[in-house]
Chains A and B, each alone.
Chain A
Amino acid sequence: MPAIGVNQTGRAAARLDRSAETSLTLAPFRNRRSADAPDGRDGAPADGSTGDGTSSSLDSRGGTARAAARRRPVLILNNVTKTFPNGRSALREVDLVVPEGDFVFLVGPSGAGKSTLTKLLIRDELATEGQVILDGDDLARLPRRKVPHVRRKVGIVFQDYKLLPTKTVRENVAFALEVTGTPRRRIGPAVDRVLALVGLTAQADQYPNQLSGGESQRTAIARALVHDPRIVIADEPTGNLDPLISWEILQLLLRINELGVTVLMATHDAEVVTALRKRVVALEEGRVVRDEVGGGYHRTT
């Protein structure tokens, strides 16, 4: 994906984008693409002039808490309790609202309920009590046949990548579109676009066993993004990576967030959390013990 000139207006940029690629509904990407321009650090002016009518008018880089109240929530957990049949409580009375465009760290020791929370969001598990509302859908009330549609609004990235070893990078990413019934002619351009976004165009035809850990995780992120999700949930995406590569992955997630995608990242990486000063939600024994913007990994008080 060639960078779009800074001197172009946002509208022109958007049009150029559309003509260069077969259009897939990657509206947030497209709107935010101009923010990628080398010195378009803020990106707000370009966005303001696109007039696409999408939810791109927020500046995700600053004032998260201030803007939170005005923005539409992508994810609401309302007094959620999850008790497993064996009586173990994984989550207790969890309240969480994630507004659109937010970047949230989910921290806590192993067994604190982070994975359970992830499973609730894709309706792999149902809450025992309380509501989980994703992009306006109450997951408990969602008919079974609509579950796949909700999952397409969520991009998931795992610590162990979950790439299919018999498929190339391109095929792994395309797979997400193929199995959801996307017409073939739209798959190619969409895949090329996300591969360019994560910087894997050159590795498109390699197999997972030829990739480094960072490349594998970027492939997984590309696959999570190819559906144009409302929210990306990354479950310890840097857990298997060395610090330098971890930063690369984090930069990528931040960039995706700048493009307008909400990111929820569960992590153990204290250094990263503390350095970035984003919103931090800490879980302990299934309860939210802390929810602060600009917090560190550890309790600051």
Chain B
Amino acid sequence: MISFLAFSVRRAWQGFWRNAAMSLAATATMTLMLLLLAGFWIVQAGLLAGLEFVEQKVQVVADLNDGTSQAAVQSLEGHLLAMPEVRDVSYVSKDEALARFRAERVNQGQDDLTQYLNANPLPASLEVSLRNASDYGPVSDLLQSDPNVARVKNIADLANRVVTVTDFLRTGGIVLLGIVGAIVLFIIINAIRLAVLGRAEEIEVMRLVGASDAFIRWPFVFEGALVGLLGAILTVAILAAVADPLSNFMYDFFRILPIRVGSISRDVAMLVFGTGLGLGVLGAWVSVRTYLIR
């Protein structure tokens, strides 16, 4: 068994280098396709993060009656936080609301008219952010039934639109990634197939002298794995080389988005190695199968 493994690995290594042109062409194809796949994966991760970011902006805002006690507010907050749909609740006091309003006016370059008021007309409010933008219904209902709540801003329309758009983009992203994945699959398998076809003569001789299926198949499978591994290493190296300049360039983008670069690069590395090895092995397996004993 060990000598068989050693034989297969040795033959795979020889096969790779003795047909260097074909093997390197397959490796180059593998690398390009893995880069394409990794690129789309990263774009997809960015898209998902962006959509999540947009959805987080959908909040249920409830204005509170003036004079609502701190205890009542806390109790309401407690109820809201207990709901599974709720991600976070923040209390905006009357003073904060006024400060925000003033800042907004200044930002828009308009006069701050509130200085002429002798009382703060703005209500305190609770801003409830949701785990999922489409789940505003129960939260809105709870707030409306509370006696301290003056009114709940109707966000049904906004929420539905945002969810429609984000769902569409999400589905589109997944479909696109699926298509790219399929293209990558076929191109890589074909590249490996070509490399195996170039060795048809060798396989023919192996068959004629009575090599068993395992002895014909495994060296090619290992060779496919070698192509996959090499392609994956090259791909990860290229990605690592461009990662720094790219993330500097996109720093602002990453800063806004709820995106974790660490987990993405881990995912991408796993994707690249898994796809490279998997498709290398699969491609070799199906290509050699044609030649085995019928």
* B3, A152: Cβ atoms closer than 8 Å: no
Q: Mark B179-214, 1 if CB is under 8 A from A, else 0.
A: 000000000000000000000011011111111110
Q: Is A209 an interface residue (CB 8 A)?
A: no
List chain B residues, Cβ under 8 A from A164: 201-202, 205
**A179 and B3 in contact, given A144-B293, A164-B205 (Cβ under 8 angstroms):** no
Question: Within the complex, which residue of A144, A162, A181, A183 is in contact with B208, where a contact is CB–CB below 8 Å?
Answer: A162
When chains A and B are docked, how far (Å) is the Cα of A183 from the Cα of B210? 16
* B209, A179: Cβ atoms closer than 8 Å: yes
Q: Is B101 an interface residue (CB 8 A)?
A: no
List chain B residues, Cβ under 8 A from A124: 207
**A152 and B209 in contact, given A181-B4, A183-B3 (Cβ under 8 angstroms):** yes
Smallest Cβ distance from B138 to chain A, in angstroms? 63
Q: Mark A117-143, 1 if CB is under 8 A from B, else 0.
A: 000001110000000000000000000
Q: Mark A145-176, 1 if CB is under 8 A from B, else 0.
A: 10111111110100000101010000000011
Q: Is A30 an interface residue (CB 8 A)?
A: no
When chains A and B are docked, how far (Å) is the Cα of A149 from the Cα of B213? 11
Q: Is A248 an interface residue (CB 8 A)?
A: no
Smallest Cβ distance from A208 to chain B, in angstroms? 11
Question: Within the complex, which residue of B3, B202, B212 is in contact with A148, where a contact is CB–CB below 8 Å?
Answer: B212
When chains A and B are docked, how far (Å) is the Cα of A179 from the Cα of B204? 12
Q: Is B18 an interface residue (CB 8 A)?
A: yes
Q: Mark A90-127, 1 if CB is under 8 A from B, else 0.
A: 00000000000000000000000000000000111000
Q: Mark A1-36, 1 if CB is under 8 A from B, else 0.
A: 000000000000000000000000000000000000
**A122 and B208 in contact, given A164-B201, A164-B202, A178-B7 (Cβ under 8 angstroms):** yes
> From A184, which residue of chain B is reached at the shortest CB distance?
B3
Q: Is A218 an interface residue (CB 8 A)?
A: no
When chains A and B are docked, how far (Å) is the Cα of A227 from the Cα of B206? 13
When chains A and B are docked, how far (Å) is the Cα of A164 from the Cα of B203? 10
> From B216, which residue of chain A is reached at the shortest CB distance?
A179
Q: Is A223 an interface residue (CB 8 A)?
A: yes
Smallest Cβ distance from A23 to chain B, in angstroms? 19
Q: Which of A147, A152, A183 has the most CB of B within 10 A?
A: A147
Q: Mark B280-294, 1 if CB is under 8 A from A, else 0.
A: 000000000000010
* A179, B211: Cβ atoms closer than 8 Å: yes
Question: Within the complex, which residue of A154, A162, A180 is in contact with B211, where a contact is CB–CB below 8 Å?
Answer: A180
List chain B residues, Cβ under 8 A from A181: 3-4, 7, 212, 215
* B208, A156: Cβ atoms closer than 8 Å: yes
Smallest Cβ distance from B184 to chain A, in angstroms? 31
Question: Within the complex, which residue of B210, B213, B216 is in contact with A150, where a contact is CB–CB below 8 Å?
Answer: B210
When chains A and B are docked, how far (Å) is the Cα of A252 from the Cα of B19? 34
* B18, A166: Cβ atoms closer than 8 Å: yes
Within 8 A of A (CB), among B203-234: 204-213, 215-216
List chain A residues, Cβ under 8 A from B11: 178
* B216, A151: Cβ atoms closer than 8 Å: no
Smallest Cβ distance from A226 to chain B, in angstroms? 8
List chain B residues, Cβ under 8 A from A145: 212-213
* A180, B293: Cβ atoms closer than 8 Å: no
List chain A residues, Cβ under 8 A from B19: 166
**A179 and B215 in contact, given A152-B209, A223-B209 (Cβ under 8 angstroms):** yes
When chains A and B are docked, how far (Å) is the Cα of A175 from the Cα of B208? 11
**A151 and B210 in contact, given A162-B204, A164-B201 (Cβ under 8 angstroms):** yes
* B210, A148: Cβ atoms closer than 8 Å: yes
When chains A and B are docked, how far (Å) is the Cα of A223 from the Cα of B216? 18
Smallest Cβ distance from B226 to chain A, in angstroms? 18
**A179 and B206 in contact, given A145-B212, A166-B18 (Cβ under 8 angstroms):** yes
List chain A residues, Cβ under 8 A from B4: 181
Smallest Cβ distance from A199 to chain B, in angstroms? 21
> From A172, which residue of chain B is reached at the shortest CB distance?
B205
List chain B residues, Cβ under 8 A from A149: 210
**A180 and B205 in contact, given A150-B210, A151-B210, A227-B210 (Cβ under 8 angstroms):** no
When chains A and B are docked, how far (Å) is the Cα of A152 from the Cα of B210? 5
Within 8 A of A (CB), among B65-115: none
* A151, B208: Cβ atoms closer than 8 Å: yes
**A180 and B210 in contact, given A144-B293, A164-B202, A166-B18 (Cβ under 8 angstroms):** yes
* B3, A162: Cβ atoms closer than 8 Å: no
Smallest Cβ distance from A80 to chain B, in angstroms? 18
Q: Which of B19, B205, B210, B215 has the most CB of A within 10 A?
A: B210
When chains A and B are docked, how far (Å) is the Cα of A252 from the Cα of B11? 32
Smallest Cβ distance from A219 to chain B, in angstroms? 12
Within 8 A of A (CB), among B10-36: 11, 18-19
* A227, B215: Cβ atoms closer than 8 Å: no
| 8 A–B pairs (Cβ distance < 8 Å), ordered by A | A148-B210, A148-B213, A148-B293, A149-B210, A150-B210, A151-B208, A152-B210, A181-B215
A150-B210, A183-B3 given; 16 more Cβ-contact pairs under 8 Å: A148-B210, A148-B213, A151-B208, A151-B210, A156-B208, A166-B18, A166-B19, A175-B205, A175-B206, A179-B206, A180-B210, A180-B211, A180-B212, A181-B4, A223-B209, A227-B210
A-B pairs with lowest CB-CB distance, top 10: A151-B210, A152-B210, A179-B211, A176-B209, A148-B212, A148-B210, A179-B206, A166-B18, A179-B215, A147-B293
